[in-house]
Structure 1
Amino acid sequence: MLLELFTGKCPIDECFSGDVNLPKWVQSAFPENFMQVIDSKLLVGDVCNEDHDDGDGDDDDNLYVSPEIQVEYCLATVIEIGLSCTRDSPDGRITIRHALQKLKNAKHNFLKNRNGEKM
């Protein structure tokens, strides 16, 4: 389900034929080119490229993570979880409980970083 939501593709989409299916298609792009399989509708928004100065006068601004990197990191985590849930072997899949915990952690980290806390 995660792969469907974040790629905008259905498992029986016309673009999949032969041995290619949604998980294999995503896996072929992961991790280096995973942004190419993300639904472009998800990437429209307020993410902008800005210089960051937290105004406290120290030099720790180099620890700032740009909004683009934050989004990419969060999306990579979600895609990795989706791939972990779709392994061919049931023994190779993570449990729904583990997947949920990883999703909660990804959400927490994303929101923490979006609110200006350092990574």
Structure 2
Amino acid sequence: MYHVDKIINVRTRKNKKEFLVKWKGYSESDSTWEPEAHLSCKQLIKEFLENQDEEKEEEEEEEEYEVDEILETRKRKGVREFLIKWNGYSKSTATWEPETNLSCESLIKQFMSGR
């Protein structure tokens, strides 16, 4: 009988989860993809998925967007907003942002002075 040492990765094939399993007593090169239904290590799976969710959240939090250009301005509910084109993204993905969310004072001044 084989015992799971740890879960290394997860993938979905044919709408079913499979886990890359490192087996106790074997090297990582001997790891195999196993359907979730074949595994009896629910706690290891749960911990792996929770850790993966936390890592994804941290990556999202760490991603910092840089303002490339201010395209327009408007007032909504008394709050000044700017249509922002983000560095590395096309104009089609521009988003409206309240001024308080932005840290590009010089770009705002430059944009406002040109109006």
Structure with more strand by fraction: 2
Q: One fold, TM greater than 0.5?
A: no
Per the normalisation by structure 1, the TM-score is 0.24
Given the two structures, how large is their TM-score scaled by the length of structure 2?
A: 0.25
Q: Answer 1 or 2: which has greater helix percent.
A: 1
**Higher-RCO chain (CA-CA 8 Å, sequence separation at least 6):** 1
